[in-house]
Amino acid sequence: MSGLAAAFDPFEGPYQVDPAEALRWSRDQLPVFYSPKLGYWIVSRYDDIKSVFRDNVLYSPRNALEKITPATPEAMKVLASYGYAMNRTLVNEDEPAHMERRRVLLDHFMPENLEAKQEMVRRLTREKIDGFIDRGRVDLVEEMLYEVPLTIALHFLGVPEDEIERMRSFAVAHAVNTWGRPTPEQQIEVAHAVGRFWQYAGEVIEKMRADPDGEGWMHYTIRKNAEIPEIVTDSYVHSMMMAIIVAAHETTSLASTNMFKTLLTHRDAWEDVCADPSLIPNAVEECLRYAGSMVAWRRETTAPAQLGGVELPAGAKLLIVQASGNQDERHFEDGDKFDIYRDNAVEHLTFGYGSHQCLGKNIGRLEMRIFLEEMSRRLPHLRLAEQEFTYLPNTSFRGPNNLWVEWNPEQNPERANP
């Protein structure tokens, strides 16, 4: 058992292949254990993960965006040369500052304010499908699942859409920098990209300040920064501008990719969804449970704590593995089985839980539902192509880099019924 704990490595091997399966032994025998390779305590059971999320004073989120692989002195120098000063946003802010800020910035995420987004997501999705429906074989990530969430995210934030390509390379660098294990050489390369991203985020903020009536959440945030700078601070605005790009789109792209991969490998479920679209909302929740895009998150103890029968010292860093909790058979019957009819699928932990729970969860869900509605209606004969899946090695963001699918365009339903 302690051998398994000592061998645990979230950057390679079984965790990269299937994080929930890789921690089955831990859920059964040692639900909280110290990983010497990572320097973190790993938490694998549903109830323990939920109780950590629930108490954000004892389990502070302050380390949520820390570099999980400490920067080398050379990489620190590179970052400093760009004036890099990533700090607190919402997700890694302690109370009471977090709640004060969250309350001020909440409105845009309310369901009534998301109605208008629905039409835009549908239009963009249809345009993308129109573009490839006669081709018979595409990489869905390249053709749709990357760009649509990014466009929606930029629109929601009010950031100019012509920045898509730059954002894309920056977002990957930010993810590797925060949750990956780059080699010392890669650290330098990543540090340059992150430094440029930081400066670029600053430029975008300046551009937005010049348009005081602009629409979107970041414009609103900038106006609040002018009104109540002690709550919506300058440092928050700059750090959030950088973090939100990844939070708002990478999460949704990867979750959508996982959803199609999962449904197409469980053909019965795919066919049921095609036959009865009313199954889609629960199918989306089950995909988020079974193959979510956010597989692990972080917390740090502010005092000695007891968790899963283990004594934790103050300052203990925790990796709470939602992917493992989501398949914990103590909470989900036959947790390792994919079942779109599961009645408690929505209790998954993929969006976190408690006072930091994902603010954008309904945007993510909306996009996933519309992707599935449109694809299952127009391409019910879709299947996965033969392929090797590749993933960006990191602790937290999960989804294949590409998803090749194929179908026979001759059998497209709209040809029979134009």
Residues in contact with ligand HEM by CB under 6 A are 53, 61, 90-91, 102, 153, 156, 247-248, 251-252, 255, 292-294, 297, 350-354, 356-360, 363-364
The CB-of-305 to ligand HEM minimum distance in angstroms stands at 17
Distance CA 10, CA 20 (A): 12
In terms of C-beta density within 10 A (0-12 exposed, 13-18 middle, 19 or more buried), how is residue 203 classed? Answer: exposed
The residue whose two tokens read 């699942």 is: 145
CA dihedral 82, 182, 296, 108 (to 10 degrees): 30
Other residues' Cβ atoms within 10 Å of the Cβ of residue 411: 12
Are the CB atoms for 358 and 299 separated by under 8 Å?
no
The CB-of-156 to ligand HEM minimum distance in angstroms stands at 5
Helix ranges restricted to H, 44-88? 46-54, 73-81
Are the CB atoms for 334 and 410 separated by under 8 Å?
no
Nearer to ligand HEM, 350 or 412 (CB): 350
Indicate the residue type of 403.
L
Nearer to ligand HEM, 197 or 407 (CB): 197
Residue whose C-beta lies closest to ligand HEM? 360
Phi, psi of 59 (to 5 degrees): -110, 90
The CB-of-94 to ligand HEM minimum distance in angstroms stands at 11
The CB-of-137 to ligand HEM minimum distance in angstroms stands at 26
Nearer to ligand HEM, 178 or 252 (CB): 252
Nearer to ligand HEM, 139 or 367 (CB): 367
The CB-of-53 to ligand HEM minimum distance in angstroms stands at 5
Nearer to ligand HEM, 335 or 364 (CB): 364
Beta 32-35 vs 40-43: how paired, if at all? antiparallel
Q: Of the candidates 43, 120, 94, 80, which has an alpha carbon nearest to the alpha carbon of residue 370? A: 120
Nearer to ligand HEM, 239 or 293 (CB): 293
> Sign of torsion, CA 276 279 281 284?
negative
Nearer to ligand HEM, 5 or 358 (CB): 358
The CB-of-17 to ligand HEM minimum distance in angstroms stands at 20
The CB-of-320 to ligand HEM minimum distance in angstroms stands at 9
